[in-house]
Chain A
Amino acid sequence: MARLNDDAQWIILMGFLISFSFFFLAIIINQSTVVGQTTAESVIEFPKNDIRDLTGVIEYNTTVSNSTLVNSDITAIAMNRKNAIVRYTVILPQTPQDTHSYALIHYNNGVTEYDENWTSL
Chain B
Amino acid sequence: MVKNTRSIESGVSEAIGFMLIFGMVIVGIGLVTLYGYPLLLQQQVSADEKIMEKNMIVLQNDIKSLAYKTVPFKETSLKIGGGSLTVYNSSSGTPSSTIEINNFAGTESYLPPYIPNTRFIPGELRYESMSSQTDISLQNGAVALRRHDVTGSVMLAEPRWFFDSTTNKMVINLINITSTNIMAKEGIGTVQMSLVGEPYFNETAIPNPNEIEIVYTYDQIQDYSVAWDNYIWNSWNIPQSYKVQRIPDPTNHKIKFRFKNDGSTDMMLVIKIFEVRIKSI
Contact = CB atoms under 8 A, between A and B. Distances in A.
A94 B173 CA distance: 42
B169 A33 contact: no
A81 B47 contact: no
Interface residues of B, number: 24
A115 B164 CA distance: 12
Interface of A, secondary structure class, is: mixed
B169 A85 contact: yes
Interface stretch (A17-25, A60-68, A103-111): A103-111
Interface in A95-121: 106, 108-111, 113, 115
A42 to B, nearest CB: 14
Interface of B, secondary structure class, is: mixed
A85 B169 CA distance: 8
B35 interface: no
B70 interface: yes
A106 to B, nearest CB: 5
A115 B169 CA distance: 16
Contacts of A80: 199, 201
Interface extent on A, as a size class? Answer: 10 to 19
A87 B173 contact: no
Nearest to B158: A110
Interface string A34-49: 1000000000000000
Interface of A: 33-34, 79-83, 85, 87, 106, 108-111, 113, 115
